[in-house]
Amino acid sequence: MNDKLITRLVYGISVFVFIVVVILNRKFIPVTIETPSFVFYLPALNATINGLCSILLLVSLYQIKRKNIELHKKINIATFCLSSLFLVSYILFHYFVKETSYGGTGAMKYIYYVILISHIFLASIVLPLILFSFNAGLKMDIPKHRKLVRFTFPIWLYVTITGVIVYLMISPYYTF
């Protein structure tokens, strides 16, 4: 595939995912079936997936520093697959379950919202960065891959770590 097609595909996928998340989070599509019981376990699963992704991203960095390119690639593919599973699980959960409000007070409330807002913002921009980084890496365009990963890696790592933190902070306030 040529670069122009890849660029269009990456932006198309990114916009599509963003729109789906916004539509489902805002309940523009009404829930017409009973909520399956497994849905209530998805936040814990999502936090676990985010935690695993954080560890895998750090192991991937370690492996590339050791020049172990093949293991670096395999770990990143596994991390991408886990992140994709997270995204499906996240969308499914937010389709069925109404939004939970944070119940903390004082400084913790402000800390929570700073973490949450930065997490949401960075999560919304990291997907195209990941896809462009993957494309460059799989094509072995090392200079482009390195340039992209300077931004992609810290953002992706921040999003996965803060995903766990947000879960730990909001989970006491789930009412299901």
**Who's near 41: CB < 8 A, 6+ residues apart?**
none
**Who's near 152: CB < 8 A, 6+ residues apart?**
126, 129, 130, 132, 133
For the domain bounded by 3-173, which CATH number is listed?
Answer: 1.20.120
Instruction: State the pLDDT confidence band at 87, using cuts at 50, 70 and 90.
Output: very high
Per-residue model confidence (pLDDT) at position 118 = 98
Distance from the Cα of residue 92 to its chain's centroid: 14
Degrees, nearest 5: CA angle 156-90-133: 25
8 Å CB contact between 32 and 95: no
8 Å CB contact between 13 and 127: yes
3-state secondary structure of 34: coil
In the predicted model, what is the mean pLDDT of residues 52-72?
Answer: 97
Per-residue model confidence (pLDDT) at position 24 = 74
Per-domain residue ranges of the chain: 3-173
List the end-to-end C-alpha distance of the chain, in Å, as a whole number.
Answer: 47
User: pTM of the prediction?
Assistant: 0.91
Per-residue model confidence (pLDDT) at position 95 = 87
Q: How do residues 93-149 score in pLDDT, each as one tens digit?
A: 988 888 899 999 999 999 999 999 999 999 999 999 999 999 999 999 999 999 999
Task: State the chain's mean pLDDT as an integer.
Answer: 94
